[in-house]
Amino acid sequence: MGRMERPTSANPLLILAMDQRDSFAKLFGTEEADATTAQVQQMRTAKSLVYRGVAAVADQVEGAQIGVLTDEEYGPDVLTQAKADGRVLAYPVEKSGQKLFDLEYGDQTPEHVARWGPDYVKVLVRMNPEDDPAGTQDQLDRLKALSALLHEQSLPFLFELLVPASDAQLASVGGDSTAYDRDVRPGLVVQVIEAVQAAGVEPTLWKIEGLETTEAAQQIVAAAHAGGRDADCIVLGRDAPQATLDHWLQVAAGVDGFVGFAIGRSIWKEPLEQYLEDGDEPTFLRTVGQNYLHYVRTYLAAR
């Protein structure tokens, strides 16, 4: 793991996430595939500014590791600068905006990973036990091949798991998405983790949607640890409102086996939208830094 120390409850990994590509382009009024050279440069500048906002408050983060998750399409300057700054670097290899997992660079993935030398290689996977079995099997086959490659090269594997509700699952709680998150999703996450492990896919860290209860968080850690595995969990932000995300962080921070967070849009989306309107760079930088520190302090205080 190079310069990185394995995250623990006592020394958690607190990741600034900005690996969005498909949804990021939409903030700039375009699609990823249609972005002009000028728009790509504008997006790269914006990601660099987000990173600068967090870098400016880095000296106020004590007792934790600062991580950065970003892509090479819109974040190459951030990848370079974060590495130079000694941050824990996570690098995504999935195609953005896809329902089913596939590799962005296909057979060239190892060369792209080697170019940036990240501490973690990250994938985003959407999976639900009620999904079409053939599509699920295709994802698992691709993930197994990637997992084997990463383990061969001793590269830590960060697995971001989203479990979107099926229509029937949402209907079972009267269409209440909060009730789905609280009462239904935790059990589904455990099922998916078990299926992923059974397929021979072995993440180092699971990046998990926020959980409403301590019991749910403990269930998911137990699944991650099944069979004596030493994979831990971090909680993701999912563009949640601050009050919701604060609760998710407080739940996770109090559970052994959760060792940090990865938060993106909840830190920078609204400030970026404002910046694109008014061009006020100092306010943008300051707000991004304050937002990151808010979540850092919320997490650390809840351990």
Q: What is the CATH number of the domain that holds 79?
A: 3.20.20.70
**Number of domains composing the chain:** 1
The total number of residues shown for the chain amounts to 303
- What letter does residue 257 receive in the DSSP assignment? T
For residues 20-37, average pLDDT:
97
Per-residue pLDDT, averaged over 158-174, amounts to 98
Within a domain: residue 7? no
Query: Is residue 1 pLDDT above 60, yes or no?
Result: no
3-state secondary structure of 2: coil
Amino acid at 261: F
For the cut 50, the answer to whether the pLDDT of residue 183 exceeds it is yes
Residue 254 neighbours by CB distance under 10 Å: 14
pLDDT tens digits, one per residue of 256-269: 999 999 999 999 99
Torsions phi, psi for 297 (to 5 deg): -70, -40
Element of type H or E holding 79: helix 76-84
Domain-located, residue 3 = no
Predicted confidence (pLDDT) per residue in 35-85, tens digit: 999 999 999 999 999 999 999 999 999 999 999 999 999 999 999 999 999
How many Cβ atoms from other residues are within 10 Å of residue 180's Cβ? 21
Domain with 163, as residue range(s), is: 13-301
Say if 42 falls within a structural domain.
yes
